[in-house]
């Protein structure tokens, strides 16, 4: 402990008393200062935690408002393309610049910093979001096409439809083995097309970094069918 020696020669032994009194005062001052700093530190932590909670709540509320806005731009078309089907038409969303940009951002954001090399989009609506997401992630884009559309050497993968089969194709030189690929489409329903796309990407030696869609129909088994290939991120669920 620091001692502040204050001798007073005019009063006999009073100098010793002054030294003890001064030492005690310094100790009390230090104790009070440390207590004040501790209270200030705790108060700062409490304020920061409160601000984080408030900001988190505001961001969550903002995100829900934005999701509701996107949902309001999805048009329900009953009995299309056949009776009993409720078609989720996202074309009204596409004509709104802000909504389109927001949809792309919400589809791309979970994959920022995930070292995505390529984005693969399924014909044809997957092209709409796929190219924009590729640009947002500074990645390349690969079209996964219907039969007969690609001019060079290609790989193909067939999949079952409700009545018959269909096929998706990709150029064999579109992917280098080991590249990380994000697969994009507008909608995940029964999962047949997406499963074929995943198999095709794996066939060419790529690593599937994730799957992102604008709309997911939770009542249909699409996610269960493709969960072995990667986690599915969807912006809107029905």
124-160 pLDDT, tens digit each: 999 999 999 999 999 999 999 999 999 999 999 999 9
Largest CA distance in the chain: 115
Catalytic residue among 18, 71, 125, 180: 125
Domain 112-237 matching CATH 2.60.120.920: the answer reads no
pLDDT at residue 58 greater than cutoff 90: no
DSSP state of 110: G
Whole-Å CA distances, 17 to 5, 20, 30? 10, 5, 20
Residue 158 to residue 165: CA distance in whole angstroms: 7
pLDDT at residue 54 greater than cutoff 70: no
Residue 57 to residue 170: CA distance in whole angstroms: 44
pTM of the model: 0.73
Q: To the nearest whole number, what is the mean pLDDT of the chain?
A: 86
∠ CA 121-95-220, nearest 5°, is 50
Domain positions in the chain are 1-58, 112-237
Q: Whose CA is closest to 98, among 140, 65, 75, 131?
A: 65
The pLDDT of residue 60: 59
What is the chain's alpha carbon radius of gyration, rounded to the nearest angstrom?
32
Active-site annotation holds for 125: yes
Instruction: For residue range 112-133, list pLDDT tens digits in order.
Output: 999 999 999 999 999 999 999 9
Return all residues near 230 (Cβ < 8 A) that are at least 6 apart.
183, 198, 208, 209, 210, 211
Catalytic residue among 2, 10, 162, 228: 162
Residue 156 to residue 172: CA distance in whole angstroms: 9
Phi then psi for residue 218, to 5 deg, are: -70, -20
pLDDT at residue 1 greater than cutoff 50: no
Instruction: For residue range 215-231, list pLDDT tens digits in order.
Output: 999 999 999 999 999 99
């Amino acid at each position: 402990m620091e001692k502040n020696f204050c001798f007073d020669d005019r009063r006999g032994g009073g100098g010793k008393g002054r030294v003890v009194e001064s030492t005690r005062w310094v100790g009390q001052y230090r104790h009070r200062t440390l207590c004040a700093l501790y209270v200030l530190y705790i108060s700062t932590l409490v304020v920061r935690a409160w601000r984080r909670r408030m900001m988190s709540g505001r961001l969550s509320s903002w995100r829900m408002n934005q999701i509701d806005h996107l949902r309001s731009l999805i048009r329900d078309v009953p009995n299309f393309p056949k009776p009993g089907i409720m078609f989720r038409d996202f074309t009204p969303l596409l004509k709104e610049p802000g909504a389109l940009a927001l949809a792309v951002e919400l589809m791309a954001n979970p994959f920022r910093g995930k070292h995505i090399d390529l984005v693969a989009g399924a014909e044809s609506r997957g092209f709409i979001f796929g190219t924009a997401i590729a640009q947002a992630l500074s990645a390349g884009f690969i079209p996964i096409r219907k039969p007969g559309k690609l001019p060079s050497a290609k790989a193909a993968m067939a999949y079952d439809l409700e009545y018959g089969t269909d096929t998706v194709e990709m150029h064999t030189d579109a992917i280098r083995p080991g590249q990380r690929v994000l697969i994009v489409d507008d909608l995940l329903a029964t999962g047949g097309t997406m499963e074929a796309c995943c198999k095709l990407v794996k066939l060419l030696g790529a690593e599937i970094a994730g799957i992102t869609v604008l709309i997911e129909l939770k009542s249909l088994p699409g996610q269960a069918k493709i969960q072995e290939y990667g986690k599915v991120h969807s912006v809107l669920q029905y």
